[in-house]
Amino acid sequence: MSDFYFDSGVVVDALSGHPKAIAELRRAKRPWLSRISWLEILGEAPVAAREETEHFLGNFAIREITPEIARRAANLRYEKPRIDLGASLIFATAQEHGGILVTRNIKDFPAATPGVRIPYLV
């Protein structure tokens, strides 16, 4: 079974109590985050919720950005110039480690994209 790498939107939804997001997190034996997702989530957390948010993020294994991931993300951006920088790094992280990206971001990742799981839309 492949590892699941969670995009920021799904994790923020889970923090907000969204049942489908929570169910997705529970599916993962060991949930992973790119350091970029970690940064996006914590960077947008309200001051009053930062400590709780950081504690929640402690449930995830974190993948740091390596030169290989950066190169893969650069190639993704070349192939799809409209893809967001953060999205390309997050997807490249999952790809580099043979994982599945769990996201609701259909703008950057249409449902038929190999290696991507779109469990729900909001």
pLDDT per residue over 32-43, tens digit each?
Answer: 999 999 999 999
Angle at 94 between CA 93 and CA 95, to 5 degrees: 90
At 96 the three-state DSSP class reads helix
- Dist. CA 65–CA 86, nearest whole Å: 11
Q: Backbone phi, then psi, for 61, in 5-degree steps?
A: -80, 140
Judge contact between 91 and 84, C-beta under 8 A: no
Tell me, what's the pLDDT at 1? 58
Tell me, what's the pLDDT at 2? 84
Tell me, what's the pLDDT at 82? 92
CATH number of 4-117: 3.40.50.1010
Tell me, what's the pLDDT at 111? 83
Residue-wise pLDDT for 40-53, tens only, equals 999 999 999 999 99
Which positions of the chain have pLDDT values less than 70? 1
